[in-house]
Structure 1
Amino acid sequence: MNTFIFVFLLSTPGVTAVLHTVRYFQTSSSDVPNFPEFVAVAYVDGFVIGHYDSNTRRAVLKQDWVKDALGEDYIESLTARGGKHQLRFKAHLENLKQRFNQSGGVHTYQQMHGCDWDDETGEVNGYCLYGYDGEDFISLNLKEQIWIAAKQQAFISKLNWDNNKAMMSHCKYYYTQECPENLKKIVNVGRSFLMRTDLPSIQLLQRTPSSPVTCHATGFYPRYAEMFWRKDQEEKVLEGVDHGEMLPNHDGSFQMSVDLNISLIRAEDWSRYDCVFQIKGVEEDLTVTLDKSVILSNWRKSDGGVVAAVVVPVLVLVALVGFVLWKKCRPARCPSGFTGSHTSDTSSSSPGESDPNKETSEEQREMRTLIS
């Protein structure tokens, strides 16, 4: 079974990025030690703006200006919705375990939904995707106004939701009007914060004398950044280079790394290699030359006589849960920033599944609540 923690792939769409996003991630889990049964996290432009979990049973805003954008009662409405979603997600998780003929063990049911807004073209795009145990389960095709079943066990939900025209009408209104309008309010009030540029600290790290040298940048914002190794100041594909993923920090900034296999480099050629960091809005590159004297490691002391530990990326709970989409997602059906492959199975339900007629009203009520 796939692990219950998934990776949100942060795209780097280039220097013309004017796309603003709001994404809501909700995770219900069973039998996961030291982890809340339900967690919800809200992101704007990749930055955590609020979260809710079943342990505290309270929604918490991470930025005061979000309250200024959406009103004083926004936090109370989030708390109320969090409690309702917590109960519904738990019930639906149990239902899915029956559909998959499962009992105990670690299982997860997740939703990612939200919208994008291009503040230059005015174009908006909404999306809603569900996953079970780390794989696609069902997703909304808003343009065609149908649900796409990725698993045989999801076909019951597809039939029910496709036939509910009132629910689809509500989905269309929410993802094309209400969600973008809220996003615009948040972005306009928090523009100075969301559109800022923070430069990173960059270090060269090495675990052992034979390990690759890692160029690690952390603390930068926004996420539209690139980092690479170059030789003789030329940007070209180098042998022995491994790009790591971009990851979130607990404060809303980001970190990324790129490895260089030094076993392929002669000692006298080290100075010909540079690690280069580029970020949207800053013309000048940040560079660090490959030099043994500046490498921090676990196996030798730095020049200052202090043993420097190699940085290990650590994600706090809300970041861990929030960056949640499934690994097998077809780009044509995914929102901006999600990539991968996807298979769709819309075959009829198999014997032993729950009666669709018994689930229609509950699933319809759930959907109306989840997207509000």
Structure 2
Amino acid sequence: MITRDAFRGSTTDELRYVDKTFTYQGTLNVPEQVLKLRLDFSMWRHENLYLPFCIKTIKGYLEKRRNQVNRKEKPRVRLIQKANTDSGGSLVSCLASGFYPCHINLTLFKDGQPVSDHEITGGDLLPNGDGTYQMRKSLEISAEEQSEKHNYTCSATHLRLDNKMDVSLEYPGEPFKSVISSVFVVLALVLVFGTVIAIITWKRRHAVSFLASDEHVDATP
């Protein structure tokens, strides 16, 4: 428990009561005897009023919110890549959302090696509207690095997960190439099936026309 007094925007004194240890830091210009009486009273107030009331309040809250506090929600983890038009590079982000309790460990890997903390941006724990939490860690990739082949992975550990969750991202540009290849395959299949259907339709029409012409010849005297 920490109690601070301030005057004109500056802290004048601070009282700390942690694990039944009472400490004081301040700049009050008062006689030592007066200060001692004040500290003794503050200590008694913390031990006999503030601390019991605080514990009682927290216990009551935990009892009322037992189902919410004791629930465990599995995180949804995604590894996404967005282009950075200013630098010509991209931003790889590991996003975990919807997890509870709030303790989670997210680690970004590049080619199997953990990325150092000074290269990572984000990492703040943020609340969701449904009472769960989210966290994002990002890595800036330069335009030069994009031309190289690197594998990016996000690893998440959480109380709700039996094992750590690994989500991978291919090196920049590879997903786009995969999409283009898939589109060409689909177009090729459509072209083949369309050609087969056109040939079958043409043959059927040709056969019907041939039979009709034969019937006309047979009916002529």
Task: Sort the TM-score into its range (normalised by shorter chain).
Answer: 0.5 to 0.7
1:216 aligns with 2:92: no
CA distance in 1, matches of 2:82, 2:129: 24
Q: 1:199 aligns with which of 58, 74, 80?
A: 74
Q: Structure 2 counterpart of 1:191, which letter? A: R
> Match of 2:43?
168
Q: 1:229 aligns with which of 101, 108, 111?
A: 108
Q: 1:252 aligns with which of 120, 128, 131?
A: 131
Q: Structure 2 counterpart of 1:269, which letter? A: K
Cα distance, 1:180 vs structure 2: 1.7
**Overall identity of the aligned pairs, in %:** 22
Aligned length: 164
**Local SS of the residue matching 1:184:** helix
CA distance in 2, matches of 1:248, 1:231: 28
Gap change, CA 1:227 and 1:128, over 3 Å in 2: same
Gap change, CA 1:161 and 1:226, over 3 Å in 2: farther
1:288 aligns with 2:162: no
CA distance in 1, matches of 2:165, 2:9: 37
Gap change, CA 1:287 and 1:136, over 3 Å in 2: farther
Higher strand proportion: 2
Higher helix proportion: 2
> Match of 2:25?
148
Higher relative contact order (CA 8 A, sep 6+): 1
> Match of 1:279?
158
CA distance in 2, matches of 1:267, 1:188: 56
8 A contact 2:82–2:90 mirrored in 1: yes
Structure 2 length normalisation: TM-score? 0.56
**Local SS of the residue matching 1:179:** helix
- 1:1-372, aligned counterparts within 5 Å? 127-130=1-4, 138-142=13-17, 143-149=20-26, 152=27, 155=28, 163-164=37-38, 165-203=40-78, 204-206=80-82, 208-209=84-85, 210-233=89-112, 235=114, 237=116, 240-263=119-142, 265=145, 267-270=147-150, 272-291=151-170
CA distance in 2, matches of 1:238, 1:200: 22
CA distance in 2, matches of 1:170, 1:223: 33
CA distance in 1, matches of 2:49, 2:69: 24
Gap change, CA 1:240 and 1:170, over 3 Å in 2: closer
Cα distance, 1:215 vs structure 2: 1.9
Q: Structure 2 counterpart of 1:130, which letter? A: R
Map Cα deviations across residues 192-218 of structure 1 (whole Å, 9 max, x no partner): 311222233334253624243222222
5+ residue gaps, structure 1: 1-126, 296-372
Cα distance, 1:220 vs structure 2: 1.9
8 A contact 2:81–2:92 mirrored in 1: yes
Structure 1 length normalisation: TM-score? 0.36
8 A contact 1:242–1:258 mirrored in 2: yes
Q: Structure 2 counterpart of 1:278, which letter? A: T
